[in-house]
Amino acid sequence: MIPSPEECLLLMSEYGMLDNIRAHSRVVARIADFIGRGLIADGVGLNLKLIVSAALLHDIGKTACLNNGRDHSRLGAEICRRHNFQELAPLVRQHVILQGTLPPEVDERLIVYYADKRVNHDQIVGLPARLAYIIERYGQNNPRRCQAINDNFKQAFIIEEMIFRHLPIKPEELSTMDLT
């Protein structure tokens, strides 16, 4: 079962999602929707409802994890399974770090992962700006953590190429678009 956007908003309230995280999730969903529609128009077989719902709920576990150090993507996937959103669970689980190798073509999971990497708070930014923010915020001046973050973002840059070969715009143009 895939929840509607309205059901996603209700879940955000049910789980006490903070307003700033809710705003971030809405922007991620708008980017994911834009990308999904563009890829579908170019012939890529995707489930747009799955993309948008997973993007809206990708941080559903974040508020609960802010002060306890738990993995918010893991909790988010558990919440999805609890509500019988089995299809969403792996997308929510992997929005921070992808598991396994990249598929040959863009799928829903990659779109949600990439869309999240393009949003700082509620602003659309380029991957380099997001990478700098993540290193500053989560790297904790730990060389190992910073290297892991850099390695993770290498995939984001590859995914960006995979996505934008299907779209009529360049990645940097996404930051200047009004996706409301």
Model confidence over 66-97: pLDDT tens digits?
Answer: 888 788 889 899 999 999 999 999 999 988 77
Are 170 and 164 in contact by the 8 Å Cβ rule? The answer is yes
pLDDT reported for residue 14: 96
Please give the model's pTM, rounded to 2 decimal places. 0.94
In a domain, 103, yes or no: yes
In a domain, 119, yes or no: yes
Tokens 């060389």 -> residue: 143
State which residues form the domain around 45.
5-172
CA dist., res. 36 & res. 14, Å (int):
27
In a domain, 61, yes or no: yes
pLDDT reported for residue 97: 77
pLDDT reported for residue 66: 84
In a domain, 107, yes or no: yes
The amino acid present at 111, given as its one-letter code, is: I
In a domain, 164, yes or no: yes
The domain that contains 147 carries what CATH number? 1.10.3210
Tokens 């850099």 -> residue: 150
Among 16-30, 43-57, 104-118, 144-158, the minimum mean pLDDT is found in 144-158
Across all residues in the chain, what is the average pLDDT? 93
Per-residue pLDDT, averaged over 33-56, amounts to 98
In a domain, 179, yes or no: no
Are 52 and 3 in contact by the 8 Å Cβ rule? The answer is no
In a domain, 100, yes or no: yes
pLDDT at 100 over 80: yes
Burial of 102 (0-12, 13-18, 19+ CB in 10 A): middle
In a domain, 33, yes or no: yes
Number of folded domains that form the chain: 1
Identify the three-state secondary structure at position 76.
Answer: helix
pLDDT reported for residue 178: 83
Output the CA angle 68-5-81, nearest 5 degrees: 50
